[in-house]
Amino acid sequence: MSQFRVVYQPGSQSPAINQRREERRTVNNSAAVFTTRGQTVGAATIVDRSEHGAKLQLTGDPYLPKEIIVVDISASAIFECEVRWRQNCYVGVQIIDAYGPSRRRQFFETHASALALLTRR
């Protein structure tokens, strides 16, 4: 069985190939996005997620560097990610690394005020 599925894009006559290697699950978790240097990018929603990737819906139209930090507020998880694609307010990311407990605690302590502002929606 092929790892690719043929899907039709809205408004298109020709099929597009879905190149996902893993099934994604819908999560709709609140999130915050930072640069790898710790600068705030903005609030987001993690629309769906797989083991190695996620689809984000950004609030607004912020500039995004190639590598970002995604904080999943709902799951208290932090991921170092590479931006793979962007379409309007949606962004696809590949998860490069997940923060362990001590690194996660340090990040939450360092960015507590920014996280508090971003999660007030």
Task: Judge whether residue 10 has pLDDT over 60.
Answer: no
Provide the whole-model pTM. Answer: 0.79
CATH 2.40.10.220: does it fit domain 22-118? Answer: yes
Return the beta strands (E) in 1-121 as ranges: 5-8, 15-18, 25-35, 40-49, 53-58, 67-72, 77-87, 90-98
pLDDT value of position 60 = 85
> In the numeric block, which tokens belong to residue 11?
């408004």
pLDDT tens readout for residues 74-119: 899 999 999 999 999 999 999 999 999 999 999 999 998 888 887 7
Q: What is the pLDDT of residues 32-47, one digit of tens each?
A: 999 999 999 999 999 9
Residue 14 has pLDDT above 80, yes or no: no
